[in-house]
Amino acid sequence: MSYTENKVTITHTMAQKDLAPEIKNGRNDLVSTLSLKSSSGVKMYNVNVANPTGKIDNLGQAVAVYVDASDYGFYGCNFTGYQDTLCAHKGRELYSRSYISGAVDYIFGMKANAWFESCDFETVGKGWITANGNRDTNLSEYVFNRARVFGSSGNGSTYLGRPWNPYARVVWQNSELSDVVNPAGWAIWDSATSTADVTFKEFNNSGAGAATDKGPPSAVS
């Protein structure tokens, strides 16, 4: 199964800057191209979903896919965006042999246990691939297995992730990381955010971006 010959594309151009400022809640959901909330779960095959908003300096969050329920599977899908492309937000989620592109925190969310199997990730600008928002010890974790990371944004221009919240948990394993990935691997959110309970791990990766001995100890546990 592959995403390369998909025929169906769902597209919608909208970012948080397009919302009225008095709207305080659910802003990522409101701008998303495709919002999924069914409690029974969904399996999606060979569908493209895009939010082609592009780079915006302020309020540029522009979600393509927002997954807000458990037991979802995506197979041979293609998700494209720039900032916050995929919100893997709640429950058990599987992404298999799919393609996801973006630049800034383009895979993010707070309460999902998401497994990405044999997926391709294309970085289209400087930034961070993941921003896991786990607020407790076991609410959320992202695992990337047999992934490929590539892009044209320049050597070392992207990081595997940064912690959106204090218990962020992300693992990259058995993956091919090109030179677009900074060999430091991980970055902090800001100087005020503690990384004491963050879990960022790499295992058995290959490629120019896979060096694990250069990461900042304060950002990895």
105 catalytically annotated: yes
The CA distance from 124 to 158, in Å, is: 9
Partnered with residue 58 across adjacent β-strands are none
How far apart are the C-alpha atoms of 49 and 205, rounded to whole Å? 28
Q: What CA–CA distance (Å, rounded) separates 17 from 53?
A: 11
Q: What is the dihedral of CA 123, 128, 132, 135, to 10 degrees?
A: -160
- Residue from 57, 105, 190, 213 carrying the catalytic annotation: 105
Sign of CA dihedral 61, 65, 67, 68: positive
Closest CA to 176 of 113, 119, 216, 220: 119
Residue 218 to residues 19, 107, 167, 173, 181: CA-CA distances in angstroms?
36, 22, 13, 21, 19
C-beta of residue 42 within 8 angstroms of C-beta of residue 36:
yes
The residue to which tokens 């970085």 are assigned: 123
At 27 the three-state DSSP class reads helix
Q: Which residues contact 53 (CB under 8 A, 6 or more apart)?
A: 13, 14, 15, 60, 62, 81, 82, 83
Q: Which residues are catalytic, by number?
A: 105
